Every structure is written in structure tokens, then in C-alpha cells.
Structure 1
């Protein structure tokens, strides 16, 4: 898989293939991994296919430069068992507008982001104080456009833990580790940590606030990225959910502002 065009064809083929074996739906409602950074501990279930897609705009400014990025983050989740799902993920079509504050030079980059393949296992349901647990193993592949392509295969491992609390509140935390390569092709490891608090306002509307550190690393390895996030989800029906995300970067290595609108559909 080289670009998002093949990725889109793969999505279509997989959806057609799996829709034929989808079982009848019960009273359960869709559970998504977006828009917050902390992943859900749940899987979609055997025979289910779930597509979670969005459009996102990021802005990053410093004394020396400004950068605006448009992307289309998309996740395909395929249930292969009651506790296991396969995952294909990408930031999709990506357009970057960069400019230098001092020289006024502008540069535009457009193409397709790398894709990742992965597996999620639902390890345990919540029981009293014990969290609902999910384990995610992903590998980012150097499959995007040349200007946006990463270096080699970059694996990651994350643990999602969730608790349903009183007064329609919920709490989730996701620690993890990952490996990446720098421009010099040197491998380095980094940590991942995020925590979120959710609130169900009614049967359709849910909100959340979150602190996320998608990369915790030494300065020589790209440094730490951190953000404060908030957003809303709206349940259109039991199989379709819309969402909105607002992110504020907490340091210079993180976009200072991000806005996203998403739609998730379960089949």
C-alpha cells in the first residue's frame, strides 16, 4: 500500500466483504476511538466493520515560522472475534502550508500520510474497581507520499483502561511505548501517556476533557509533545456518531491549535 488511493480501495473491498457477515444488531450503541486521544478499551465485535473518519486543521506558530496542516484522519476497525479487532489507520490526505517569518518564503507540501496496521484485544470488562482493559499493538508503515513518509516500520504498544463512574462520569487512561526513527535513521524509543474524563449529558450527547502526551522523549529524539483537548460527541443513531474536537498545544513542539470534525459509522 503506497498511497491513500489504494488505501481507499482496500477500505471499500473490506467493507463489502465483511458486510456480508455482519450479525443482527442488538441494543448496543456504537463505541468509538475518536475524538479523544485515549483509545476505547472496547472492540467492535465479531463480524462488525466500523469506519471512523474526520477532517482536521492544525496550526503551529513560532518566532521563526508558521505552519498550517489540513489532514483527514481515518480509522477502519474490523471485528474478527468477540474480543479482537484488526485496525488500519492513516492521517489520509495531508496538505501543509509553511512560511518563514523572517524571509517570507512559503512552501506547500501535499500528499498522503503513512498508514498503520494493528490489532486491539479487549482483555477485561469493568468489575467494581477493576477497569475495562484493552491492549493495542500497531505498526506505522513507510507507505505515504515521499515528502510525508516516515522512516521504516515504527511499532507501538498501548494499554487502554476505562472506568464508568457515578453521575454519568467516566475516566480513561492510556500509557504506552513506541519506537521511531529520526532523519538520521537512528532508532529511538519514547513514552505515551494520556488521561481523559468524560461526561454523558443525555443519551445522545457526551463531552470530555483530556491531557495527552503522544510523545514523551528526550530533546535529542524530538522532545515531548503535550496538549489539552476537549470535545463533544453526538449519537445520531445507535450505529452513527458525529464528533467535534478542540486541542491546545502545551509546548512549542505541539500544534498550538487543532480543530477536527468527525463521523463514525458501524456496519
Structure 2
């Protein structure tokens, strides 16, 4: 792995943390802390909210997945991270990555191989177009515009810049039940360097389980694409989250692949903190 590939993710982390300390803290005393943290994990569907002006939020975790296709077993691990910096009441800047990654491949009659490295960086923004209103049934709506960059290690990086646009609609229902849907489109590039459109469509529902605890179930079409471009990745996901305080959350999740291209099983734990 080249020095630049190793250092690049760490440099971006440092920049975002520095921005939070100089810009975010200037508003921290005035920003309200009455509302619990709203995270974009552990489910695949993003939340319909932004972090708010001058707030900084860090979300991370440890994820594992296992897949088997045509006798080939692949066990993977990654450390996803999302940095969110509120630059206005309805806008935030975002830096996202799968972090450190490891993939171990086993095939019949072949020595197993292990690859280590970093995932690509994704730069983006999120705009909260409107708040939800339970009384009228109006959903919270947010738009996310991202660009995945070819910055990762050779074993895990994508091809060129891949822009994406997603929309999130989130309804607050009686009993503190929440339902969200997220369609989206990604301008992807395959191994041959050819552009194609990849779809995204997921729906999630969550509800309280106990004081400070929420559970969710989800059906997520994470990659809707032709077989020639890798096939559809569709999963059924479920998990729980727990509020330690209004600004700190922990979570755990598990996912079952529903299509051949999806991981057979995946899961992980996570942590989020808001400043």
C-alpha cells in the first residue's frame, strides 16, 4: 500500500475534527440539547434530519459480513465512519468511509488470501427540506448528494468519481413509531470503466422497546443493478439502538442477504456522539 493511500483517510478525519472544534464549538453553547441524537445508523435508510447549525456528529462502528458464491467463501470486516458538520439550520456537510477493511477469501484447492486496506472516501451534503408533523401526516424530507472518490486501497477502491442522489421521507406515527423510505440513484462505473445507473430503494420501521431503547426492521435494496454489473444486493435487516444520553447512542444490528450478490449474513455494533 502506498504512503498516500494510507495517510489520505487520516488527513480527512483530522480536517473534519478540526473544523468541528473551530466552527462547531462556536455555536455549541446556543444550540439546544433537548432533542435526542438522530443518527444515520444502524439501518441503511438515512434519517430525515440534519445535525443542526454548529453541531458536529461522529458515527462509527465495527461490521462483519460473510458470503459464499460458487464455492468461494469471503469473510469481510470494516470500520465505517461518518462525520457530520452542521453549517446551517437545514444543511450539513458529510464525510463518509468504510474505514479500515479486511477480506479473507477461501476457495477449494486454492490457498486462502487476506487483503487489508482502506475504503474510498465519500464527500457529500444533506439538506432537510421539511420537518415531520404527526398531526397532519407530513413526513420529514431530506436530500443527500454525495460523490464517492477513488481514494481507497487497490483491493477496495471503486472506479473514478461516483455521484449519487438520495431522498429520505420519514413519518412519525402514533406510539413513537417511525417509518422511513429512501429511493436513490448512483452513477456507477464498472471494472471496464463503463458508466451505468444503479438504483437504491429501502424501507425501514422503528419503534420503542423500552426506556431509551429502539428496535427496527428493514428491507433494503442497497444495489439495484444488472447481473453483468454485479447483480442486485437486497437484504433484510434488524437491530436495536440505545440512548446513553441525548448526545450518545450505541447500537447493534444483523442482516440476512436475500439475493445471491448480497452477503449471506452480516452484523455489527456502533457508536455515535454529538457535540
TM-score range, shorter chain: over 0.9
CA distance in 2 between partners of 1:233 and 1:20 (Å): 27
Alignment of 1:122 with 2:128, yes or no, is yes
Match of 1:33 in 2: 40
Deviations 1:9-40 (A, max 9, x none): 22432332234313233311100000000000
Match of 1:72 in 2: 79
Do 1:4 and 1:93's aligned partners in 2 also have CA atoms closer than 8 Å? no
Alignment of 1:89 with 2:76, yes or no, is no
TM-superposed CA distance for 1:130, in Å, is 2.0
Alignment of 1:238-253 (within 5 A): 238-253=246-261
TM-superposed CA distance for 1:219, in Å, is 1.2
Match of 1:200 in 2: 208
Alignment of 1:10 with 2:15, yes or no, is yes
CA distance in 2 between partners of 1:110 and 1:153 (Å): 22
CA distance in 1 between partners of 2:150 and 2:90 (Å): 29
CA distance in 2 between partners of 1:52 and 1:146 (Å): 25
Say what the alpha-carbon RMSD is for the aligned residues: 1.3
Runs of 4+ in 1 over 3 A off after TM superposition: none
TM-superposed CA distance for 1:264, in Å, is 0.1
Deviations 1:124-155 (A, max 9, x none): 11231221100000000001112211110001
CA distance in 2 between partners of 1:262 and 1:172 (Å): 20
Do 1:18 and 1:49's aligned partners in 2 also have CA atoms closer than 8 Å? no
CA distance in 2 between partners of 1:190 and 1:89 (Å): 19
Within the candidate set 224, 231, 239, 1:231 is matched to 239
Do 2:159 and 2:191's aligned partners in 1 also have CA atoms closer than 8 Å? yes
CA distance in 2 between partners of 1:188 and 1:64 (Å): 29
Within the candidate set 96, 115, 118, 1:112 is matched to 118
CA distance in 1 between partners of 2:66 and 2:239 (Å): 18
Alignment of 1:141 with 2:149, yes or no, is yes
Deviations 1:25-71 (A, max 9, x none): 33111000000000001000000000000000111113320001110
Alignment coverage as a number of residue pairs: 266
Q: TM-score, normalised by structure 2?
A: 0.93
CA distance in 1 between partners of 2:250 and 2:130 (Å): 27
CA distance in 1 between partners of 2:25 and 2:139 (Å): 34
Within the candidate set 252, 255, 267, 2:263 is matched to 255
TM-superposed CA distance for 1:184, in Å, is 0.4
Do 1:142 and 1:153's aligned partners in 2 also have CA atoms closer than 8 Å? yes
Do 2:33 and 2:246's aligned partners in 1 also have CA atoms closer than 8 Å? no
CA distance in 2 between partners of 1:59 and 1:11 (Å): 32
Alignment of 1:176 with 2:189, yes or no, is no
Q: Which runs of 5+ in 1 are unaligned?
A: none
